Amino acid sequence: MNVEELVREALREQAADQRPTGPGFADRVLSARRRRRTRTVATVAAAVAAVVAVAVGVPLLDSGKDDVRPAGVVQQGGIHAHPDQSPPRDLIAAGDAVLAAYYTADNVVKSDTRAVFERTYSLLDPDTGRYEKDTRWSYVAVAPGLKTAAVLERELPARRIGLLDLATGEVERWIPVAHAVGGLAFSYDGGRLVATTYDENPDLRHKETGSAVENGKTAERQMWASSMGSSRTGFSVIDLASTQASWTPVKAERDISARQDFAFGRTGDTVYSQVIGGRDGLQQFYDLTGGKIDAPADERYLRSDVAARLSPNGRLAALGLTKEVAGSPGRSYSSIRDPRTGKEITTVRGGHLLAWVDDKRLIAWERVTSLEEEYRPQLVLVTIGSDKVVPLSGSREESLERQGWEPVFARR
């Protein structure tokens, strides 16, 4: 007997051992469909945690080598690239880092004096591997595992948080909140959400008259500007297994923008948010009772405006742009540091580090234009110790008036 024959025999024997489905199986399917597969949120959270555990446990060097993927994409080393698409239409991913969604944003005029800077999200449909526009949400955070997203409806601040099943596009569960929410972020393990609470819509804009120099003359110009202060009131931490929410007030100080969302620190027992100060990317940490604390040892040198933060094994910190080299296109380099000492270990290609793929590779924005031309970036895969970049998306048009599409990454 050879191994194929034994596989065949073992599978047939195992299949023959299965007792038939029960008489009510059709009803079970139909009722599950009616409930839109409302597994208990505890199961969702457990699933998310399990996916994280599995993802962490996969030997990184082997990742993707046995993958079976839809045809028609680049199939090397777990990379799904569409360098001709901007914004993307089809799955972009590398290793465990997946472009789970992207959004565009624009001022939507509500009255003569007010507008709202509204996001329009396109979410990855895991069945088709395509990004589908979903205009229902003003804010979306995708959980690790890519099964669930936390969503806020159009009117901000929102009185309830939806847990969206990304496979069906339906909200599995609504979590009512006592304090209205404007922004959301998952913990690294996906088991909890931090919801930033506001008194008014943090994306509100007021019409203001400014002056601009045009053709050598100073001219008056109308613009939509965000509020000078912030209506931020604090944050709620929501445990997804129990859906228990606990709210913590945090006084809105003068050094924050109108929207200044909180996010969890790596271990989930702290939150941080950006503060405006002497340099870009400053961050203030808080414990979960709202008390200001020093940054945890591994996170003190991170920047709040560099989304990649710590590598999966926690040993490297992704920091900001340090060098640009002329050429066509120009080449950017960002700093990789020791998180404990802040000392630069090396630099890596990329002008803006967005997400770690594994402990050696990241996804970044990198320019496609020379240093003299207008800045236009595309998503690329970069590797520590290599000058090579692998384009993942088409290049994004940028202008002062209009923001390009913004990526939302999540871990598989």
Partner 1 sequence: MDAAELESFREFVDNRSSGLLKTAVLLCGGDRHAGEDLLQNALAKAAGKWQRIDEPEAYVRRILYRQQVSRWRLKWRRREVTVAEPPESRAGRSDAAAAAELRVVMREALSRLTSRQRTVLVLRYFEDLPEADVARLLGCSVGTVRSTTHRSLARLRSIAPELAALRPADAEAQPSRDFSPVEVRR
Using the rule CB under 8 A, is 61 a contact of partner 1? no
Which residue, 23 or 176, has its beta carbon nearer to partner 1?
A: 23
Cα angle, residue 365 at apex, residues 126 and 270 outer, rounded to 5°: 75
Which residue, 45 or 237, has its beta carbon nearer to partner 1?
A: 45
Q: Binders of partner 1: how many residues, by CB under 8 A?
A: 60
* Sequence-ordered strand ranges (E) for 257-405: 263-264, 270-274, 283-287, 292-293, 317-325, 331-337, 344-349, 352-356, 361-367, 377-383, 389-395
Which residue, 19 or 251, has its beta carbon nearer to partner 1?
A: 19
Least distance (Å) from partner 1 to the CB of residue 78?
10
The contact pattern for partner 1, residues 111-140, with x = CB under 8 A and - = no contact, is: ---------------xx-------------
- Return the residue of 56, 60, 74, 288 that touches partner 1, per CB under 8 A: 74
Which residue, 44 or 271, has its beta carbon nearer to partner 1?
A: 44
CA distance 272 to 243: 22
Using the rule CB under 8 A, is 398 a contact of partner 1? no
Least distance (Å) from partner 1 to the CB of residue 127?
7
- Determine the interface stretch with partner 1 among 75-83, 335-343, 374-382, 400-408 (rule: CB under 8 A): 75-83
Using the rule CB under 8 A, is 4 a contact of partner 1? yes
The tokens of 222 are what? 């109308």
- Which of 60, 80, 59 has the alpha carbon at shortest distance from 68? 80
CA distance 281 to 233: 21
CA distance 130 to 394: 15
Least distance (Å) from partner 1 to the CB of residue 150?
17
CB of 197 closer than 8 Å to CB of 251: no
Q: Which of residues 85-114 bind partner 1 (CB under 8 A)?
A: 90, 98
Place of tokens 């910190």: 317
The four Cα atoms 206, 307, 80, 122 give a dihedral, to 10 degrees, of: -20
The tokens of 65 are what? 């080598």
Residues binding partner 1 (CB under 8 A) = 1-16, 18, 20-21, 23, 25-26, 28-30, 32-33, 37, 46-48, 50-51, 54-55, 65-76, 81-84, 90, 98, 126-127, 145-147, 167, 412
